[in-house]
Amino acid sequence: MSFLSGFIAIIGPPNVGKSTLLNRFLGQKIAITSPKPQTTRNRILGIYNEDDCQMVFIDTPGIHQTRSLLHKSMVRSAKASLGEVDIILLVVELEEAGHSDELDTILRLLKKTAKPAIMAINKIDLIKKERLLPLIESYSKLHCLDSIVPISALYGDGVETLREELKKRLSPGPQFFPPDMLTDKSEEFLIAEIIREKIYYETREELPYSSAVMVESLEEDSARNLLTVMAVIYVEKASQKGMIIGKNGRMIKRIGTNARMEIERIFSLKVYLELFVKVEKKWSSSTRSLRRLGY
């Protein structure tokens, strides 16, 4: 039997559970999640291996209407992935499906491609079947979709069925990555993303979208089983710096503690995490700053 492989783009509107689905496929967290839309800013590659196949998933930022330079770069990244993959996995949720300009835009893009496309209707744990079945029937009439699979990425319902649908559409090909490799992202990137996730959960309103994280140094002491991390949180205003630090430093301590615990769980090391906050005015609308920060 020949080995099967392929690249799969996970696309969809913001906040429909694309990153949660990627983590579910891999059985390990490599993509951060939060209830806030536009959490994913970079394309994140995740590698799923079986004895006879390898699926290389590309988790993309949500496709949405935007004017900001940061979000425009995110949407460009997501759209570019459609031309670089073998299969397209469109993730939607019931509340978005049929009621979103973003979804209409994505469906138009799919119609222009000749690639297999599967729709996963996510968060079925939150809806009743009588609402789901008419939606599946409606989308089954679209010629740009090869299959529709209802799932719950959070709880795993339907995910194995979805994986089999994807596997059917793989072609004979090489093993692109070693079987023990989960992602091509660096440790620095993953740690910075974990810190940013904790900012999303701990802060409110516009602050998460005005913050970026860069790991400045990373040192592992194998003798002490210790990972020492120094990271900088960038914000755009002095008032935002005050919000990140919090009264008597409580907010940054909470962010740091939660991030450290997550990093320790993922890396199986003790972690010493030091966080700094710097103001870089209008970084999200500066091409130079966006490049420096990895966007």
Q: How far apart, in whole angstroms, are the C-alpha atoms of residue 148 and residue 76? A: 26
Q: Using an 8 Å Cβ cutoff, are 55 and 166 in contact?
A: yes
Mean pLDDT of 33-37: 69
Q: Using an 8 Å Cβ cutoff, are 16 and 62 in contact?
A: yes
Better-predicted residue by pLDDT, 112 or 68 = 112
Better-predicted residue by pLDDT, 284 or 190 = 190
In order of start, what are the domains of the chain with their CATH numbers? Answer: 4-172 (3.40.50.300), 187-292 (3.30.300.20)
Residue among 57, 74, 70, 84 nearest 13 (CA): 74
Q: How far apart, in whole angstroms, are the C-alpha atoms of residue 168 and residue 194? A: 34
What is the sign of the dihedral through the CA atoms of 93, 94, 95 and 98?
positive
Give the range among 14-23, 99-108, 138-147, 159-168 with minimum mean pLDDT. 99-108
Q: Which SS3 state, helix, strand or coil, does residue 183 take?
A: strand
Better-predicted residue by pLDDT, 236 or 34 = 236
Q: How far apart, in whole angstroms, are the C-alpha atoms of residue 87 and residue 83? A: 10
pLDDT, tens digit (0-9, with 9 covering 90-100), for 229-250: 999 999 999 999 999 999 999 9
Place of tokens 């993922």: 266
Q: Which SS3 state, helix, strand or coil, does residue 208 take?
A: helix
Q: How far apart, in whole angstroms, are the C-alpha atoms of residue 88 and residue 74? A: 18
Mean pLDDT of 245-264: 95
| Percent of the chain with pLDDT strictly greater than 70 | 86
pLDDT of residue 288: 86
Taking the model in full, what pTM does it have?
Answer: 0.82
Query: Burial level of 250, CB count in 10 A (0-12/13-18/19+)?
Result: exposed
Query: Burial level of 230, CB count in 10 A (0-12/13-18/19+)?
Result: middle
pLDDT above 90 (res 170): yes
As a whole number, the mean pLDDT across the chain is 85
Give the range among 31-45, 133-147, 209-223, 244-258 with minimum mean pLDDT. 31-45
pLDDT above 50 (res 260): yes
pLDDT, tens digit (0-9, with 9 covering 90-100), for 192-219: 999 999 998 888 766 667 889 999 999 9
Better-predicted residue by pLDDT, 27 or 72 = 27
pLDDT above 50 (res 136): yes
